[in-house]
Structure 1
């Protein structure tokens, strides 16, 4: 009887081990399948994003952004995406700055050698407003999902590039630019330093203070200042430790005090409530500026 019981226990243990091995195998296969899907989606999107033609780059950026939104819903896929960004051929940020966010120089013909040569002159179509805006959204997503992307962006002088977009492009790109700037500077002292050296606060203050500017853009500037102050306030020795004083100098005591107080909102709110509160506080900031 005792021998029979020991055999049954041994059989149960063997069965349990077999089930565990099968489960591990299935899990490993699922992870490999998911990794193949992630890398395939990136390779396909990046192939188009490297194109010489703007309409193809736009198509590639749309696919990358769609892919990143699906990635953001799951911790395991976020980790897979982060792993892919250690592989040069799959890195997204360099492609953005080498193509969509790259300022195309005028195609000046210095000589006519290309006419008599068998090699045609290579022409790259400039980035459209929609392409620049979409590239900025992809950049924002990369920095939020993968912190090292902020360092990749710094290597391409991202803050200087984005400040130029903010100063020269339309409202569509400017709004996306402000969102991307926040993601670039989040916990990145090196990008915060670049922003300060570019007189970034002055540029944003000019936009929010311009009553003839697009109202939605001014609202976005208000949200930007609230998020910026809320993030860097009180950090002694931080690159932007004096940002509150800069805003006080540029926008006045009343508006600066309102921005400082309003920036402390929402620590206990859920994401949707926090976003609503951000819109409300940004509206109050605009109203305080428009009173004068």
Structure 2
């Protein structure tokens, strides 16, 4: 079979490419038209690429949320793992983050409400209000309780949503996020408690309503009690130290913060030396790269813990 030669492979009648002198004499209107055509093609490619990313983001959310709404915990765990993996992928690209933010304005794609309606449901008071279902012929719909792994994953997903999409903190407030998470902190195991402290920081960033809820729930007292208890797992106590450092340095860093008395509370609960260490550590580190900041945070949390253990 003989294929036709591609148009762009044909040369001129003289079988030679145009000389530089001839190309320099091209019509300015032709050059303008060529530039315009190139811009149009670039815009088309960008538009198609944006549509592709949007389809990938929405498909990932629909797939994960479908399982996250399931009746059985093992299915919800699968959905939460998929959502967490998707959020980590979304975080690698600014364009994906913007598209994710757009999806969270669509009720069917909102992640935060699903977390509180399913995975965190068992952390709330879930008492049976009546026994009408016993006297009916219709079977009662039963959801399996949330496992430790499910709650921990849901907390990581919540943290990711709030960091990528600050408006998710408002959705969390609507579902009474602070009381729910404080209940997790006081009743669940070490795995969930550590994830809970990270999630608390993320939902309080730039959210006065959540900060006020934290104050109302005596949140600082709860965390201080954990860090002072030498019977508590050491890694969890270190996580509490990191939480207090972040709370003082970032959440409380803005003017007129709802937690304006945090310094006084820390002196009262942890003593002058530990409170001074937390204050001093919160004043530095903003010029460090992320890895250095994380290392510095670990070191400062260890120093806070050592200052407490001396007394």
TM-score range, shorter chain: over 0.9
User: Do the aligned partners of residues 234 and 180 (structure 1) sit closer, same or farther apart at CA in structure 2, a change above 3 Å counting?
Assistant: closer
Mark the runs of 5 or more structure 2 residues left unpaired by the alignment: 1-22
Is 1:110 paired with 2:110?
no
The structure with more radius of gyration: 2
1:162 partnered with 2:184: no
Cα deviation, 1:131-180, whole Å, max 9, x if unaligned, reads: 00000000000110001000000000000000010011001000000000
- CA drift at 1:12: 2.1
Q: Deviations over 1:12-44 (max 9, x none)?
A: 222222222112111111111111111000001
Structural mapping, 1:110-189, within 5 Å: 110=131, 112-114=134-136, 117=137, 119-189=138-208
Write the distance in 2 (CA, Å) between the matches of 1:31 and 1:183.
28
User: Take 1:155 and 1:233, find their aligned partners in 2: how far apart are those partners?
Assistant: 22
2:60 matched residue in structure 1: 41
Is the Cα–Cα contact under 8 Å of residues 204 and 211 in structure 2 kept in the other structure? yes
Q: Where does residue 240 of structure 2 map in the other structure?
A: 221
1:107-152 per-residue CA deviation (whole Å, 9 max, x = no partner) reads 79826334xx2x3221100100000000000000011000100000
Q: TM-score, normalised by structure 2?
A: 0.88
CA distance in 2, matches of 1:106, 1:162: 19
> 91, 96, 101: which is aligned to 1:72?
91
What per-residue deviation string (whole Å, max 9, x for no partner) do you get for residues 192-220 of structure 1? 10000000000000000000000000000
Which stretch has the larger CA shift, 255-264 or 49-58?
A: 255-264
Say whether 1:263 aligns with 2:285. Answer: no
1:99 to 103, 118, 140: 118
Tell me the C-alpha RMSD between the 2 structures.
1.8
**Counterparts of 2:256 and 2:160, CA distance in 1:** 28
- Of stretches 219-228 and 22-31 in structure 1, the one that deviates more from structure 2 is 22-31
| TM-score normalized with structure 1 length | 0.93
The answer to whether structure 1 residue 8 and structure 2 residue 30 are counterparts is no
Aligned 8 A contact 1:78 1:145 in 2: yes
- 1:75-90 matched pairs, under 5 angstroms: 75-90=94-109
Q: Deviations over 1:212-260 (max 9, x none)?
A: 0000000000000011111255655321010010011011111111111
CA distance in 2, matches of 1:139, 1:92: 8
CA contact (8 A) 1:85 1:92 kept: yes
Q: CA deviation at 1:6?
A: 8.3
Partners of 1:5 and 1:225 in 2: CA distance: 67
CA distance in structure 1 between the aligned counterparts of 2:229 and 2:46, rounded to whole angstroms: 56
Tell me how far apart the structure 2 counterparts of residues 232 and 19 of structure 1 sit (CA, whole Å).
47
Q: 1:196 aligns to what SS in structure 2?
A: helix
In the alignment, the residues of structure 1 paired with residue 210 and residue 223 of structure 2 have an alpha-carbon distance, to the nearest angstrom, of 16
Q: What CA distance in whole angstroms lies between the structure 2 residues aligned with 1:241 and 1:232?
A: 11
- Partners of 1:232 and 1:241 within 8 A in 2: no
Give, in whole Å, the separation in 2 of the partners of 1:231 and 1:130.
29
Question: Structure 2: how far apart are the matches of 1:147 and 1:240?
Answer: 19
Partners of 1:173 and 1:183 lie apart in 2 by 15
